[in-house]
Amino acid sequence: MFDLLWELDSDEALRANAMTDAVAWLVYDLGVAPRTARAWVRATRVMAEVPVLEEAFRLGAVSLDQVLILARFVTSENVVALVGLCGEVPVGELAAAVRDLLAVPVAVKPEREEPVLHMWWDETALVLRGAIPGADGVLVESALQRLATKAPLGESDGLYREAHIRDAEALIQMASESLAEDRDHDRATLVVHVPLEALDDPEVSVSVAGRLVDRDELLRLACDARLQPAIDDPDGVTIGIGRVSRQIPAWLGRALDGRDGGCRFPSCHRTRWTHGHHIAHWANGGPTNLDNLITLCGWHHRLIHKDHWQIQGNPNGKVTFINKFGTPHQPVRPKFPPYHHDLLMEGIERVANHHLQRLEAVG
């Protein structure tokens, strides 16, 4: 397994296998936990730099658990001492024994164990910073990773996007689903403040929750939401409240779900965190009916509005997605066949058998 990781952990191999990095391959293709995947890749790179540790692992002088611990501390200078230490202390005490031997300072346990989160706006972006200790941190990480693994591949290159982007998308999905389930109409209604003098300007930026949002982003937010315009005078005082638009009614939503079965973007088909998108937007006179509605997941819904994609055809039949360059979109990476995992495991088994034969020949 580690030999295979070492072979894959290069720019050429990553490109050939449509991967962004070896950690992403382990997480998103094999289903390995992110923390374990990072530890495996780190150990692979360390053993390539410290051949003594690699040889000890091949000969069985150190176990996999011991290698993962030593990889955090080992160098070419201390490897002999650390490998010898593995035969003297149990695995559970190895990390502490290595710290004592190398005089590595132990991190001080924080006095506060409550989760904290700070939020502030930096120009046009919300910045989050905080800490969630213990089991609560594991809970949040697991939820984000579970959603992140279901995010679609990049629409232009067919690669898994970077993990930090996928995690951010997962956080947005959690927030979106939470608001969608809010039955308090006053809280769930999107109130849009529009300057009186700009009502006829199609390029106007409007205020949503105290933040300026451009027209394209507003149209995405309002595709399947309660929308109430508030007209402001030049001093910012609201002088009129417009009508609340109807969102997609439940009966039409069921028909839409039954017809589409999930996101209609090519090769996606996600069934959660989906929105009803108006092909001809409601704000521009588009009707709310099956001929003008199509199901998109949150990621591809943002893609359509942000990058000015177009959808051609009748959604009751075949539709074509046109990218911002005017080219019909074609998936660049097909879905993995059902036997994909079996092929990967067969490859790993062949590598393992090959090295076992080498060890038997040496023995």
pLDDT per position as a tens digit, 211-228: 666 666 666 665 655 555
**Are residue 176 and residue 197 in the same domain, yes or no?**
no
Where among 59, 78, 110 does a domain terminate? 110
The verdict on residue 286 lying in a domain is: no
The verdict on residue 284 lying in a domain is: no
Looking at residues 303-318, what average pLDDT do you find?
86
Domain of residue 134, residue span: 116-180
The verdict on residue 27 lying in a domain is: yes
Where among 180, 206, 221 does a domain terminate? 180
**Are residue 19 and residue 100 in the same domain, yes or no?**
yes
pLDDT at position 232 is 62
- One-letter amino acid at 303 equals L
**Are residue 96 and residue 121 in the same domain, yes or no?**
no
Q: What are phi and psi of 129, to 5 degrees?
A: -150, 135
**Are residue 14 and residue 94 in the same domain, yes or no?**
yes
**Are residue 14 and residue 90 in the same domain, yes or no?**
yes
**Are residue 88 and residue 147 in the same domain, yes or no?**
no
> Please, which residues bridge with residue 128 across strands?
119
Identify the band that residue 180 occupies on the pLDDT scale cut at 50, 70 and 90: low
The region of weakest confidence among 72-81, 224-233, 254-263, 301-310 is 224-233
Identify the band that residue 237 occupies on the pLDDT scale cut at 50, 70 and 90: low
pLDDT tops 80 at residue 210 = no
The region of weakest confidence among 118-127, 150-159, 228-237 is 228-237
The verdict on residue 131 lying in a domain is: yes
**Are residue 94 and residue 123 in the same domain, yes or no?**
no
The verdict on residue 132 lying in a domain is: yes
Whose tokens are 């190895």? That residue is: 94
Q: Of 163-167, 182-186, 257-261, give the range with the top mean pLDDT.
A: 257-261
Q: What are phi and psi of 296, to 5 degrees?
A: -135, 145
The verdict on residue 163 lying in a domain is: yes
Identify the band that residue 243 occupies on the pLDDT scale cut at 50, 70 and 90: very low
The verdict on residue 326 lying in a domain is: no
For the stretch 8-23, pLDDT in tens is 777 777 777 667 778 8
CA distance 335 to 308: 26
CA distance 218 to 306: 10
The verdict on residue 267 lying in a domain is: no
Q: Quote the distance between the C-alpha of residue 332 and its chain's center.
A: 19
**Structural domain count, the chain:** 3
Question: In whole angstroms, how far apart are CA 57 and each of 52, 63, 340?
Answer: 9, 6, 29
Identify which has the larger pLDDT, 301 or 155.
Answer: 301
The region of weakest confidence among 140-144, 145-149, 234-238 is 234-238
**Are residue 22 and residue 98 in the same domain, yes or no?**
yes
pLDDT tops 70 at residue 278 = yes
**Are residue 127 and residue 59 in the same domain, yes or no?**
no
For the stretch 131-142, pLDDT in tens is 888 777 888 888
**Are residue 171 and residue 78 in the same domain, yes or no?**
no
Where among 134, 162, 180 does a domain terminate? 180
For the stretch 98-116, pLDDT in tens is 888 888 765 545 555 678 8
